[in-house]
Amino acid sequence: MITLNVNGKTVQANVTDKDTPLLWVLRDVLGLTGTKYGCGIEVCGACTVLIDGQREHSCVFDVGSAIGKQIVTIEGLSPAGTQNHPVQQAWIRNQVPQCGYCQPGMIMACVAGMKAGHHGSELLSEMKHLCVCGTYQRIRDTVANL
């Protein structure tokens, strides 16, 4: 068993190998399925979470390195699933998602950038995520106005 701080709560995870990617612990052990698996090699960004306020690709971030850190997933961005974070509200207002699969990672990356004081074109230049449905123009329009 390991102890993690996920979305502001201390949780126990039955994990024997500390080299296990954090993504699998979040999804398979803790049931937080909002963080998605896309490529497994840090290219698509679907697995993006915040660790101590910084964006990280949970598909390659081992769970042992997450011990003692503050982990925030898309589920922890707004209390009780209210989707009231400004980035989530902008996504809704601009009808960004089609399938929505990649959206949690993009939203988390935007949140990390905004926490670092980035906005508009600077924030947009940091967005290196892949979107299979191709809603890039709506994503660009939304991020450029954050």
Q: Are residues 125 and 70 in the same domain?
A: no
> Within 10 Å of residue 86's Cβ, how many Cβ atoms?
11
Q: Are residues 85 and 131 in the same domain?
A: yes
- 39-94 residue pLDDT tens: 999 999 999 999 999 999 999 999 999 999 999 999 999 877 788 899 999 999 99
pTM (global) more than 0.85 = yes
* DSSP assigned state of 8: T
- Which one, of 141, 137, 57, 72, lies nearest residue 111 by Cα? 72
pLDDT band (50, 70, 90) for residue 135 = confident
CATH number at residue 132: 1.10.150.120
Q: To the nearest whole percent, how much of the chain has pLDDT over 90? A: 70
Q: Are residues 15 and 62 in the same domain?
A: yes
Rounded CA gap, 137 and 64, in Å?
38
